[in-house]
Amino acid sequence: MTILFVSDLHLDSSRPHITRLFVEFVRDEASQAGALFILGDLFEAWIGDDASDETADQVATALARLHASGVPTFFIHGNRDFLLGDAYARRARMTLLPDGSVVDIEGERVLLMHGDTLCTDDAPYQAFRAQSHTPAWQRAFLARPLAERRAFAAQARAESQRYTRSVDDAITDVNADAVAATLRAHGVRRLIHGHTHRPAQHRLELDGQPAERIVLGDWYEHGSVLRCRSGETSLSRLG
Ligand code: MN
């Protein structure tokens, strides 16, 4: 059976046609698949499970139906939705996986990540990530009133857009040494991740052996899906 991988959907009420595209993808193609893996940034922003909106409701309903039809969904947090919690995961019947999980895909050990931890040249981002991934920061943030959390998220998005435009593309892409070290640390030869919005299947050489890094695309204008079946992988545009 085909195993499906998506990431960086950035679902948001401002782009309802993309939410519709995803809901249809889940209802049609994913319902025939062996499993669906979502590698982060399913949502444009996530300020807590208590702030669920209509987009989140539609997605939870679609994924819960998928689960009822016998197809498991696995979710790895992205840098936009790292606060997505157990309550929402239960509603959507998604299984949360740690960032950097090795899973068995048709007998091969494959490493799955969101991808932001590989962008080690981006020091300001890594500093924010380290701070915002502490339990104390998250507890304090989630305890703030919804309006304050919304304002913080909007400001963070605006700053991130300004920053990304202001620095060289290489800074916000993965670091080749970090990729090699990560593959070695997990003892794998294949990595699938998102985050950079630079879809590609990169052939690499790691310690004299072939390896592969597959980068999923974003869903800003179209969908992007990776299909794995019988040892073949294909990355294509959707919609
Ligand atoms: Mn991301």
How many angstroms does the Cα of residue 172 sit away from the middle of ligand 1?
11
How many angstroms does the Cα of residue 233 sit away from the middle of ligand 1?
22
Q: Is the dihedral of CA 134, 140, 143, 148 positive or negative?
A: negative
How many angstroms does the Cα of residue 41 sit away from the middle of ligand 1?
5
DSSP 8-state assignment for residue 226: E
Span between the terminal Cα atoms of the chain, in Å: 22
Residue 14, token pair as written in the block: 């401002």
How many angstroms does the Cα of residue 169 sit away from the middle of ligand 1?
15
pLDDT of residue 133: 95
How many angstroms does the Cα of residue 194 sit away from the middle of ligand 1?
7
Residue 233's CATH number = 3.60.21.10
Amino acid at position 56, single letter: A
Which residues, including other chains, have CB under 8 Å from residue 20's CB and lie 6 or more apart? none
Q: Calculate ∠ Cα 74-190-203, nearest 5°.
A: 135
How many angstroms does the Cα of residue 209 sit away from the middle of ligand 1?
29
pLDDT of residue 239: 86
pLDDT of residue 59: 98
The whole-angstrom separation of Cα 182 and Cα 162 is 29
pLDDT of residue 148: 97
Range of the domain at 155: 3-238
Three-state DSSP class for residue 12: coil
- Full pLDDT tens readout for the chain, 239 residues: 999 999 999 999 999 999 999 999 999 999 999 999 999 999 999 999 999 899 999 999 999 999 999 999 999 999 999 999 999 999 999 999 999 999 999 999 999 999 999 999 999 999 999 999 999 999 999 999 999 999 999 999 899 889 989 998 889 899 999 999 999 999 999 999 999 999 999 999 999 999 999 999 999 999 999 999 998 999 999 98
How many angstroms does the Cα of residue 208 sit away from the middle of ligand 1?
31
Structural domain total, the chain? 1
How many angstroms does the Cα of residue 115 sit away from the middle of ligand 1?
7
The whole-angstrom separation of Cα 201 and Cα 212 is 7
pLDDT of residue 224: 97
**pTM of the complete model:** 0.97
How many angstroms does the Cα of residue 82 sit away from the middle of ligand 1?
10
In the structure, ligand 1 is a single-atom ion and the residues with CB under 5 Å from it are 41, 78-79, 195
How many angstroms does the Cα of residue 197 sit away from the middle of ligand 1?
8
Is residue 164 within 8 A of residue 171, CB to CB? The reply is no
